[in-house]
Amino acid sequence: MKRSMLGKTLTALSGIMISGAVWADYQLNMREPQSALAKDVYDLHTMINLVCLGIFIVVFGAMFYSIWKHRKAAGHQAEHFHENTTVEIIWTIIPFFILVGMAYPATKSVLAMKDTSNPDMTIKVTGYQWKWEYDYLKDGVKFFSTLSTPRDQIENKAAKGEHYLLEVDEPLVVPVGKKVRVLLTAGDVIHSWWIPELAVKQDAIPGFIRDAWFKSETTGTFRGQCVELCGKDHAFMPIVVKVVTQEEYDAWLASKKGGAEMAAADNTKTFTQEELMAKGAEVYEKNCAACHQANGAGVPGAFPAITGSPTATGPIDAHISTVVNGRPGTAMAAFGGQLSEADIAAVVTYQRNGLGNSVGDMAQPAQVTEIKGGAVAAAPAAN
């Protein structure tokens, strides 16, 4: 195959410079392409690299040959002439054709990337600090995808796993061989959605909708990252796409819808303190710990502590309202649209009775529903 042969040539060339054991697990090239477009991109990269290598050899070869052949020590006498139209025409025409030869296939690939017409399905992707939201527009499924690498690995308390910082709790699941159109936007700052193996990379800009597409030809799990510097945890919002067969996709969709119904049922339940604390710890770890820290101590000067905070130890309604509505003008996001009523009740209860606090009360989903309806103002901005 053309691609793998060219790829191997390049890898072999670079291998000359890297020896033995290091070389064994070293790979110098782009990721193995998984879609027709990704293969085009891969081949373009290889082709243009080889053109550059060819130009390098010809130009430096001619230069070194001339210097060596015409050196003074060999008794060479300098020619005395100015301008040579033939040479000037040749060194204009040749690069012109080389450039056209590279621009033509590159433009073709770029145009193909921008052609989002006739998709089989459309998913709206929204970037937030620091997670992605996937909304399957026709199928009515919507969820957040957040980093699942344990904090212990990040803080060097545990050995790093195989997919360190490239793993999420809920991957984007799509069927194989289907043209998936993604509509991209952001809820706060500019993010960028990138899956190298599928040759899709597009900025997600607040207030704008951009689109891109991909069509994986193989099943498998492909990983990417946010590639637009978006704040403190920019490196902590990976993208994982799971490409499955149509049957597996249908089964996943059905279970996802079932899960949404169960979550909706939770929103009208009354929980015990223990249930809320257990659920709250999970919600806190996923949504709050990045800023307020796993132990609730916060980051002085940047993110307030939960431990001993006036909000988490003050009136419970104001506390719930702060979580639901956020605090405009600060990094505290409104979680009312992201978390269910049950999740908010649980995390509020956890913040009041865990992390070094012991207020002793608890929140129930019904209370959160009421506050979401706009009954109570947020706690004062002091903390």
Q: Can you give the binding site for Cu ion, defined by CB under 5 A? A: 191, 226, 230, 237
Shortest distance, CB of residue 234 to Cu ion, whole angstroms? 5
Question: Closer CB to Cu ion, residue 150 or residue 187?
Answer: 187
Structure tokens at 269: 């339940």
Query: Which of 212, 230 has the CB closer to Cu ion?
Result: 230
CB of 185 to Cu ion, least distance (A): 13
- Rounded to 5°, the CA angle 294-297-301 comes to 120
Cα–Cα distance between 182 and 270 in angstroms, integer? 38
Q: Which residue, among 379, 240, 370, has the nearest Cα to 312 in the 3D structure?
A: 379
Shortest Å distance, C-beta 236 to Cu ion: 9
Taking the least distance from each CB to Cu ion, the nearer of 236 and 271 is 236
**For residues 150 and 278, what is the distance between their CA atoms, to the nearest angstrom?**
17
What secondary structure letter does DSSP report for 268? Answer: T
In the complex, minimum distance from the CB of residue 278 to Cu ion, in angstroms, rounded to a whole number: 30
Look up residue 130 and give its amino acid.
Answer: W
- In the bound state with Cu ion, the residue whose beta carbon lies nearer, of 184 and 316, is 184
- Shorter beta-carbon distance to Cu ion: residue 226 or 305: 226
Closer by beta carbon to Cu ion, 35 or else 287: 287
Q: Which residue has the tokens 């992707």?
A: 125
Least distance to Cu ion, CB of residue 30, Å:
22
Q: Which helix (H) or strand (E) holds 344?
A: helix 341-353
Please name the residues in contact with 119: beta carbons below 8 A apart, sequence gap of 6 or more. Answer: 179, 180, 181, 213
Residue placing its CB nearer to Cu ion in the complex, 193 or 350:
193
Q: Work out how close the CB of 316 gets to Cu ion at its nearest, in angstroms, rounded to a whole number.
A: 33
Provide the minimum distance between the beta carbon of 322 and Cu ion in the complex, in angstroms, as a whole number.
24
Q: Which of 296, 257, 291, 268 is nearest to 280 (CA)?
A: 296
Cβ pair 167, 154 in contact under 8 A: no
Is the Cβ of residue 237 or residue 363 nearer to Cu ion in the bound state?
237
Nearest distance, CB of residue 329 and Cu ion, angstroms: 21
- In the complex, minimum distance from the CB of residue 321 to Cu ion, in angstroms, rounded to a whole number: 27
Distance set, CA 197 to CA 33, 219, 297 (Å):
5, 12, 39
Give per-residue burial for 241-279: e unless 16+ CB within 10 Å, then b: bbbbeeeebeebbeebeeeeeeeeebbeeebeeebbbeb
CB distance 196 to 265 below 8 Å: no
Residue (195 or 226) nearer to Cu ion, CB: 226
For residues 137 and 123, give the distance between their C-alpha atoms in angstroms, rounded to a whole number: 6
* Residue 132, helix vs strand vs coil: strand
